[in-house]
Amino acid sequence: MPAPSLTAPRGRAAASNPPVRFETQHTECFDDGWSAEDAGVVAPVQTSLRRDASRSAISWNSSPDLGFDRSLNPYRGCEHGCIYCFARPTHAYLGLSPGLDFETELVFKPEVAALLERELRKPGYRVRPLALGTNTDPYQPVERGLRLTRGVLGVLQRFRHPLSIVTKSAGVLRDLDILAAMAQERLVRVHVSLTTLNAGLARRMEPRAATPARRLQTIAALARAGVPVGVLAAPMIPGLNDAELEHILEAAANAGARHAGSLLLRLPLEVRPLFEDWLRQNYPARAAHVLSLIRQCRGGAMNDATFHRRHTGEGPYAVLLAQRFARAARQCGFTATPALDTTRFALPPAPPSAQLSLF
């Protein structure tokens, strides 16, 4: 008989590894009756690291509904394990599953700082703000030991290059010395992602990210240090966390956030079945209602990748969410996201080379 649905290992959100969509063969769990007492149980899964041999640091995009054209991600995969993460399908390009593999099989770029410096020194480089943490969190737990993000910040500070950061980790406070110095020259802004104020929901939905209370403390610490900080109330999941929208914005404003954003849940490719399985496992009584509301916001489908609509959705429920956000943002006194200064960019002296000069 088919194996029963699995529960996620402790500290993980995904309960399984769905097949890699580019592979022609895949395996399926099957209960042969020998381990009935263990049915539905997944053994603990440790995090493992792989080196990324790519020879570039900056990723470029031409998407018309993004506020940046370049980004950098020191890591591929994310130990935070957010079940809703739209970046999960990118793990398939590595031959890894967007499920548990995305949370446990991480790929890191050990030379990311050196690669970034080389790209910034190219004669044709034209400066615009660099987005850090757009795909996976630059301050996920492995950053404590690898310190790749700090290396990137060191390069950007020396070049006086503007950047924006999105994170849901208190780990960003480790680099407050660099961020505060860059903030004085209008070279940095930070958005802290705050999805819910409910610690129980957060633990299930984003199991290894900082608690909601810790994220509010992070906003407060950044604000005290003079770093422009905002809140990203995202994703809003109809019927699950959207009732908290106004409370999230108010709590963030009270902590010191001065600008805000919000996005509707996206469920591209493998994220949809992973999220549906998670929802039915953790909130079976409301799963059908949540999925129905999502379809109402997506023209009857579970996802819509159309530019200018993928982040906001459509229909009465999506319009109401947007109106609620706009009203709450005004009441909280949020201002526009501050512009960054691109005029300070300058090439610092090149590091000494082991190769002798001809002259």
Say how many CA atoms lie within 13 Å of 37 toward its Cβ: 0
Token pair of 249 as six digits: 């914005």
pTM: 0.91
Q: Provide the mean pLDDT of the chain.
A: 91
**Do 293 and 237 form a contact (C-beta atoms < 8 A)?**
no
pLDDT of 357? 53
pLDDT (tens digit, 9 = 90+) per residue, 306-319? 999 999 999 999 99
Q: At what angle do helices 176-183 and 148-159 cross, to 10 degrees?
A: 20
% of the chain residues with pLDDT over 70:
90
Q: What are phi and psi of 48, to 5 degrees?
A: -125, 155
Cα 136 from Cα 85, distance rounded (Å): 9
Cα distance between residue 46 and residue 208, in whole Å? 13
| Angstrom distance (rounded) from CA 263 to CA 275 | 17
Per-residue pLDDT tens, the chain, 359 aa: give them.
334 456 788 888 887 787 777 666 555 555 555 554 455 555 678 899 999 988 999 999 999 999 999 999 999 999 999 999 999 999 999 999 999 999 999 999 999 999 999 999 999 999 999 999 888 999 999 999 999 999 999 999 999 999 999 999 999 999 999 999 999 999 999 999 999 999 999 999 999 999 999 999 999 999 999 999 999 999 999 999 999 999 999 999 999 999 999 999 999 999 999 999 999 999 999 999 999 999 999 999 999 999 999 999 999 999 999 999 999 999 999 999 999 999 999 999 887 765 555 54
| CB burial string 53-63: b at 16+ within 10 A, e below | eeeebbeeeee
CB contact set of 255 (below 8 Å; sequence gap of 6+): 216, 217, 219, 220, 223
Radius of gyration of the chain (CA): 21
Q: Which two tokens stand for residue 51?
A: 């080196």
What is the spatial distance between Cα 131 and Cα 154, in angstroms, rounded to a whole number? Answer: 15
DSSP letter (8 states) at residue 64: T
Contact assessment for residue 96 and residue 104, using Cβ atoms and an 8 Å cutoff: no
Q: Looking at domain 51-331, does it have CATH number 3.80.30.30?
A: yes
Across the strands, what pairs with 106? 49
**Are the beta carbons of 206 and 169 closer than 8 angstroms?**
no
Each residue of 23-44: pLDDT tens digit? Answer: 665 555 555 555 544 555 556 7
Closest by alpha carbon to 191, among 158, 163, 152?
A: 163
Domains in the chain: boundaries: 51-331
Q: How far apart are CA 339 and CA 315, in angstroms?
A: 32
The pLDDT value given to residue 16: 79
Provide, for the chain, the percentages of residues in helix, strand and coil under a 3-state DSSP scheme, each rounded to the nearest 5.
Answer: 35, 15, 50
Cα distances (Å, whole numbers) of residue 126 to 70, 85, 129: 11, 31, 10
* Contact assessment for residue 169 and residue 208, using Cβ atoms and an 8 Å cutoff: no
92 by Cβ neighbours in 10 Å (0-12 / 13-18 / 19+) ranks as: buried
Give the pLDDT score at 180.
Answer: 98
